[in-house]
A and B are shown apart, each in its own frame.
Chain A
Amino acid sequence: MPEGERIRIGGGQGFWGDDLDAPRRLVEGGPLDYLMLDYLAEVTMSILRKLHDRDPSAGYARDFVTLMREIYPACAERGIKVVANAGGVHPHGCAEALEEAARSAGLAGKTRIGVVSGDDLMERLDALLEQGHALTNMETGVPLSSVRGQVRSANAYLGAGPIVEALAAGADVVVTGRVSDPALAAAPLIHEFGWAFDDHNRLAAAILAGHVVECGAQSSGGNCMAEWWSIPHRDVIGFPIVEVEPTGAFVVTKHPNTGGRVDRASVVEQIVYEIGDPRRVLTPDVSADFTTIRLIEEGANRVRLEGIQGAPPPDSYKVSVAYGAGWMAAGTLLYTWPDALAKARAAEVMLRRRFDRMGYRLDEIQAEYVGWNAGHGPLSTVPPPDAPEVQLRVAVRSTHRPSVAGFAREMAPLVLTGPPSVTGYAAGRARVQEVIAYWPALIDKNAVDPHVRVEVCRP
């Protein structure tokens, strides 16, 4: 790469369900070297596991393949590489579907697809427990054996290393299972600039760059509080791009002629998003110190971040285990003026008495009044005076499924039996869902074996 060259990475998806058109806007809207796409929220892996159990060919983010069918030709033509954790619990299945998409785009023999796997510990779980990896819950200190029977998925968050390996082997698109989210952007930087894994300051910069783009438009004006009313054209919001220099300093920006806004406020809100101790932001690759970041507003929609320092990473990978923890359901009813809140409150009391009378075994009952306290809970101290309407939302949880199913039938009858001027019961009908709980744990890095495969698209 020529000296002084910058690498541009765009964050095109913040979660599975994000703006489907955003990656296309990033690819077509201006210069870009890499597109990173984050599909995996915590809950996503257990959903994909369930789909995979029902149909062995499923278990990855199919949206990604649909998207690539559309943008693959443009990416190939412009030399834009793609890194996505769309593989879910079946990265090889995702790669196979992707190869089919590449073939139909006329790219047989012209594109290389990389697959990173080895994060999935589900098949090895009993062996690992037997070998003495207790996978103790980081928050409660309880060993995993106590919920072993209910475990639905278990994945280690891999680092940037295997993605770097895939890029070095010539991959144009890299599909992964569970990796640390910022690694999806850090890996291309480590690969392009040849940064060493003990160059902790540059690795911290790479992880910061990834952190800034991993939630999509949340750093370019989406969900931004600061003067939100003046942020232009969020309907065509420009997803964030980092322009990274060989030193690790980078500018956060977005393509011209897009909506949204990149400024100090939008970028800082994202930097502090979902972090703990800012002096030790832990990833598999580095411990980054966010208190060392220097932020400079360079101009309209250009924010420069530099100076970040890093330290060696922990010896363990974080493991996310999902396990079944009972059943839940939630339903709503809309009460209208006059005395909307009084009616909703009377309905709540009526429901609670019904639950007792029916003998439902409910571990928790939560009642909220949308329009008053569903967002801020007890901090919404003063009820709205003479509210035009209030929506009652009742949710329950239990390890006894028939009780939750019973609850699900209890709300609709209130339109005929309860307080008056009520509607909206059809839209708010309760549905029984399994509760998937999270078990955060650590595992020795030596116990996990990341695997990389890179292959040319076959004809």
Chain B
Amino acid sequence: MNARIKFAVVAALLAIGLSACGERPQVVQYKQGTYSGKPDTPPWDNARFGGNKQAWVDAVNNRAQSQNEYKSVN
């Protein structure tokens, strides 16, 4: 009887103690291209782009091309 109680106590302690050793992901699970977080308005949701995401992407990508002087010179 005594041994049973001891066994039960040890088993319970082990279960509680080892429960903290589980491998859980420590990093944020971020899925590329999806929004994750606080309420915030996307940059295309305004009067200029009128919610047209593709128009915004095109505007930014066009602007990025001004950083390529090989294109602007040649």
Partners in one complex: no
Residues of B participating in the A interface, judged by any CB pair closer than 8 Å: none
